[in-house]
Structure 1
Amino acid sequence: MAKKILPLEEGDYYLSEEGYKVFTEQYLLKRGYCCESGCRHCPYGFDKKTGLHR
């Protein structure tokens, strides 16, 4: 199954000091699933260290 590509809107991300896009909780909730990459604002509670969701 192909993953749906969502257009980015205001509030979906910000730029880190290093210039990387950091997705916000708003965007991650719109996306609708956890990618298990340890996103900084993960609303799904994934812990990259343990590999588990809270």
Structure 2
Amino acid sequence: MLVEGIDYIVNANGLLVFTREYHLKRGYCCKNGCLNCPWDYAKHSKESAYKQNEKK
């Protein structure tokens, strides 16, 4: 069972946002660019997109 404040928060827009702790408990990256991704997937995907654009 998910616990508010530990596994998720509800942001100002009323959306459920999973926490870093939730992601770590799940144990893998879903590669959706989650806000609290402990594996920094969104950061890495932006960097690779930047490098690809640099080559063109």
Query: Hey, what does 1:17 align to over in structure 2?
Result: 12
Superposition RMSD in Å: 1.7
Would you tell me which structure has more strand in proportion to its own residues? 1
Distance 1:45 1:14 in 2: 19
Segments of structure 2 that go 5 or more residues without pairing to the other structure are 50-56
Deviation at 1:9, TM superposition (A): 2.4
> Who wins on radius of gyration, i.e. which is larger?
2
> Percent of aligned pairs with the same residue?
47
1:33 aligns with 2:20: no
Structure 1 runs of 4+ aligned residues shifted over 3 Å read none
Deviation at 1:45, TM superposition (A): 1.6
Deviation at 1:43, TM superposition (A): 0.3
Segments of structure 1 that go 5 or more residues without pairing to the other structure are 1-6
How many residues are treated as equivalent by the alignment? 45
